[in-house]
Amino acid sequence: MQIEIDHISKEFGATAALHPVSLSIPSGALVALLGPSGSGKTTLLRILGGLEFPTAGRVLFDGSDATNMTVQDRRAGFVFQSYALFRHMTVFENIAYGLRARSRAQRPASAEIARRVTKLLELIQLPDIGARYPSQLSGGQRQRVALARALAIEPRMLLLDEPFGALDARVRKELRAGLREIHDTTGLTTVFVTHDQDEAMELADLVVVMSMGRIEQIGRPQDIRAKPATAFVREFLAI
Amino acid sequence: MSDVPTNHWPKQPASAAHRPVTTESPGFRVALIAVVVVFLALLLFAPLVAVFAEALSKGAVEAIKSLANPEATSAIKLTLIVAAVAVPLNAVFGIAAAWFITKYDFRGKALLITLIDLPFSVSPVVAGLCLVLTFGANTAVGGWLVAQGYPIVFALPSIILASMFVTFPFVARELIPVMIEQGKAEEEAALTLGASGWRIFFTVTLPNIRWALLYGVLLCNARAMGEFGAVAVVSGKIRGQTATMPITIEMLYNEYLSVSAFSLAAVLALLALVTLTLKTLLEWRFADQLAAANRL
């Protein structure tokens, strides 16, 4: 799905989290929103997911206005920073949640739900953990379960907030490759937020560098590295 | 829920030479435990035993006979009715208030929290008087309702209102810290997965707060059944009609009917013990779930 961000701004009380920003994300791209904390990258991601509404501006999905679309209607697979797994449900129930929440007419039969959950558990390479609770998983496993849960609703896009933030370096590397692979097999337009320039540069097709609620530069990793547009970009990427 | 005992402290070697740094010396520990035991014995166990001993002082038959007295049965029935109405209403109110306070940001939040605590700081007698002044037969509202045949004061409605006023902070107080700690992330996740508001409440929010809710409801119930001051003012203490268990106990005691008074008191104490046992049983039955919820 193609995403168009058209002069979006966001104010929380008197403070502006986003000055009007515009960004066009081609269908099927893997995009990184890169910036230090307080740069507005998470706010922008939450606006895409429908968890925040912009003060001004429009969001377009495939050319049609989605600014006032509810979270539920957007069908955005969202992976939260702390994963936000349902702690009282097993891994299986977590992944099945989105399918079971559908209206009766659109809800798959329970055998079909079980089949899909099993397939997703295979996709994240954790086929045997369906019966466990989130508290019995490692950080890396939780992250992958959160990804599977987001994919279960057959999302139109994938949004990830600091997906590797809480993990140690080795697991981080592994999961990076995992996300790339899942992106390539599903072909979903994917946007992830990060403050780690290596992660952004290594993983993304398109990097959006943000600072203080503004977009500093948009470009392919190699182009940004070769030609940083502003002093901030040069400094932040330590070029 | 922090008040649930959990055993994830690492086992320490028992020998005194390797005493963990956070542990006191054996003598001090014994003294500390002794103080607690003496306190509990004097303040909790002795009075409880005394109530039962006094009730049974003339034999179990006398005690049971005194409970079969219409005055006593009516008091027991009234107290159970009051709790059955006040507790569910306060549970709903408490959940709504806690939800509103923890999931939304708005002006006057601190004021609202203070207001919820008000019944803890106001004397129950004052609360009762306020109800009489608002709904009494000589006020506009109260007079009209009496004319319609629905008196509030000196009747069941005022007893329920007084009990609700006194017990309404319990559920909200228990829920607010738990809900603040859990944040909104799981609800947001459920939203992105397409769930509706009610579905989220019943499948995500309620399961996450159910233990805190249970404690709140149990406390609320215990207090609703035991409330004396506010009910004494609004009920009019009409025997066999508006006298709840605590009121009837006091009246019987003042008339030197000690077996009757203490038998009824024993029943009230038993009701509290039943709730406590229920809570312990549930904790024991769902220990694994509790531990899982605490660890995340």
d(CA A131, CA B68): 53
**Counting Cβ atoms within 10 Å, is residue B142 exposed (0-12), middle (13-18) or buried (19+)?**
buried
Average pLDDT of B22-30? 85
d(CA B229, CA B127): 9
Contact B217, B87 (CB under 8 A): yes
Would you say residue B14 has pLDDT above 60?
no
A80-128 per-position pLDDT tens digit: 999 999 999 999 999 999 999 998 889 999 999 999 999 999 999 999 9
CB contact under 8 A, A76 and B192: yes
Domain ranges (residues) in chain B: 16-55, 60-295
Would you say residue B15 has pLDDT above 70?
no
CB contact under 8 A, B196 and A101: yes
Most A CBs within 10 A among B178, B186, B188, B192, hence the mutation to make, goes to: B192
d(CA B86, CA B225): 10
B147-206 per-position pLDDT tens digit: 888 888 888 999 999 999 999 899 999 999 999 988 889 999 999 999 999 999 999 999
Would you say residue B22 has pLDDT above 80?
no
**Cβ of residue B274 closer than 8 Å to a chain A Cβ:** no
Contact A97, B190 (CB under 8 A): yes
For B52, residues 6+ apart whose C-beta sits below 8 A from its C-beta are B262, B266, B269
B89-109 per-position pLDDT tens digit: 999 999 999 999 988 888 888
Which residue in A has a C-alpha nearest to residue B195's C-alpha? A101
Residue B150, pLDDT score: 86
B35-59 per-position pLDDT tens digit: 999 999 999 899 999 999 989 988 8
CB contact under 8 A, A87 and B296: yes
CATH fold for domain B60-295 = MetI-like fold (1.10.3720)
d(CA A206, CA A227): 14
Would you say residue A33 has pLDDT above 70?
yes
How far does B205 lie from chain A, in Å, by closest CA? 10
Helices B156-167 and B206-226: crossing angle in degrees, nearest 10, is 120
d(CA B8, CA B195): 35
d(CA B212, CA B172): 9
Contact A159, A179 (CB under 8 A): no
CB contact under 8 A, B193 and A76: no
**Cβ of residue A107 closer than 8 Å to a chain B Cβ:** no
CB contact under 8 A, A87 and B186: yes
**Cβ of residue B213 closer than 8 Å to a chain A Cβ:** no
Please tell me the pTM assigned to this model.
0.81
% of chain A exceeding 70 in pLDDT:
100
Per CB-CB distance under 8 Å, the chain A contacts of B186 are: 84-87
Average pLDDT of A125-151? 93
CB contact under 8 A, A134 and B207: no
CB contact under 8 A, B188 and A134: no
Per CB-CB distance under 8 Å, the chain B contacts of A85 are: 186, 189, 296
Would you say residue B294 has pLDDT above 60?
no
Which residue in A has a C-alpha nearest to residue B289's C-alpha? A88
Distinct helix (H) and strand (E) counts, chain B? 16, 0
Per CB-CB distance under 8 Å, the chain A contacts of B286 are: none
Per CB-CB distance under 8 Å, the chain B contacts of A72 are: 191, 194-196
Per CB-CB distance under 8 Å, the chain A contacts of B189 are: 78, 80, 84-86, 149
Residue B3, pLDDT score: 45
d(CA B225, CA B242): 14
Residue whose entry in the numeric block shows the structure tokens 């009494």: B136
Helix (H) or strand (E) holding B286: none
Most B CBs within 10 A among A82, A87, A153, hence the mutation to make, goes to: A87
Residue B4, pLDDT score: 46
Helix (H, G, I), strand (E, B) or coil at A32: strand
Q: Which of A98, A133, A135 lies at the smallest CB-CB distance from B194?
A: A98
% of chain B exceeding 90 in pLDDT:
48
d(CA B153, CA B144): 12
Helices B258-285 and B206-226: crossing angle in degrees, nearest 10, is 170
Nearest to B159 by CA among B58, B109, B86, B268: B86
Choice among A45-54, A166-175, B242-251, B254-263 with the minimum mean pLDDT: A166-175
Residue B19, pLDDT score: 67
Would you say residue B9 has pLDDT above 90?
no
Mean pLDDT of chain A: 93
**Cβ of residue A98 closer than 8 Å to a chain B Cβ:** yes
Domains of chain A by range and CATH?
1-75+155-239 (3.40.50.300), 86-154 (no CATH)
Would you say residue A43 has pLDDT above 80?
yes
Identity (one letter) of the amino acid at B155? A
Would you say residue A5 has pLDDT above 60?
yes
Which residue in B has a C-alpha nearest to residue A98's C-alpha? B193
Average pLDDT of B202-217? 92
**Counting Cβ atoms within 10 Å, is residue B122 exposed (0-12), middle (13-18) or buried (19+)?**
middle
Residue B1, pLDDT score: 41
Most B CBs within 10 A among A46, A103, A133, hence the mutation to make, goes to: A133
Which residue in B has a C-alpha nearest to residue A87's C-alpha? B293
**Cβ of residue A163 closer than 8 Å to a chain B Cβ:** no
CB contact under 8 A, B190 and A82: no
* CA of residue A226 relative to chain centroid, distance: 27
**Residue B213, both tokens:** 């809710």
d(CA B63, CA B259): 6
Q: What is the CA radius of gyration of chain A?
A: 18
Residue B293, pLDDT score: 59
**Counting Cβ atoms within 10 Å, is residue B108 exposed (0-12), middle (13-18) or buried (19+)?**
exposed
**Cβ of residue B208 closer than 8 Å to a chain A Cβ:** yes
Would you say residue B215 has pLDDT above 50?
yes
d(CA A66, CA A72): 12
φ/ψ (deg, to 5) at B26:
-55, -45
For A49, residues 6+ apart whose C-beta sits below 8 A from its C-beta are A71, A74, A76, A78, A159, B192
Which residue in A has a C-alpha nearest to residue B286's C-alpha? A88
**Cβ of residue A64 closer than 8 Å to a chain B Cβ:** no
**Counting Cβ atoms within 10 Å, is residue A54 exposed (0-12), middle (13-18) or buried (19+)?**
buried
**Cβ of residue A69 closer than 8 Å to a chain B Cβ:** no
Q: Which of A72, A80, A88 lies at the smallest CB-CB distance from B208?
A: A88
Would you say residue B6 has pLDDT above 70?
no
